[in-house]
Amino acid sequence: MRTAVMRMRRDDGQVAVEFLGMTPTIVITLVLLWQCVLLGYTYTLAGNAADEAVRAGTAATRGERQAVCQQAGMDKLSDAWRSGARVTCPPSTGYVTADVTLKVPVLFPGVVDFPIDVHGHAGAVEEATN
């Protein structure tokens, strides 16, 4: 009986020590998961902005297509992603394309970006004008 009590006293604080040892691993895992979410969301935003830019570009006249296309692509981005964004709508006949390039934020959108670009591309057939 006495040895069981002595053994329990030697294990005092073991859970606290194990928790402190695992805390950095848990925090790093959560940070990496959050960064993966931001990367995926940036890909989603780039694709959506390219789709919206092409949609607006197909409805515009040829003379104003490039400006309308670029503006529509930028309008679909929040301020955090808009700062490093590039929307290009090259002139073409019959097929409208848009390319969107965004920077991937580090942990907090709008503060610091990775030197990694995410690209979104979309295309659609030009609407017939009467």
Instruction: Measure the CA–CA gap between 83 and 61, rounded to whole angstroms.
Output: 28
What pLDDT does 11 receive? 67
Instruction: Measure the CA–CA gap between 73 and 89, rounded to whole angstroms.
Output: 10
Structurally, how many domains does the chain consist of?
A: 1
Has residue 50 got a pLDDT over 50? yes
SS3 1: coil
Tell me which amino acid residue 116 is.
Answer: I
Among residues 123, 119, 114, 74, the alpha carbon closest in space to that of 101 is found at 119
pTM for this predicted structure: 0.76
Token digits of residue 120:
């979104």
Token digits of residue 121:
């591309």
What pLDDT does 111 receive? 76
106 domain-assigned: yes
Digit-coded pLDDT (tens) for 66-120: 888 888 888 888 888 888 889 988 887 778 889 999 988 888 877 787 788 899 9
- Percent of the chain at pLDDT > 90 equals 25
pLDDT averaged over the chain? 83
Q: Which residues does 109 contact at the CB level (< 8 Å), separation at least 6?
A: 38, 78, 80, 81
130 domain-assigned: no
SS3 97: strand
* Structural domain boundaries, residue 43: 2-125
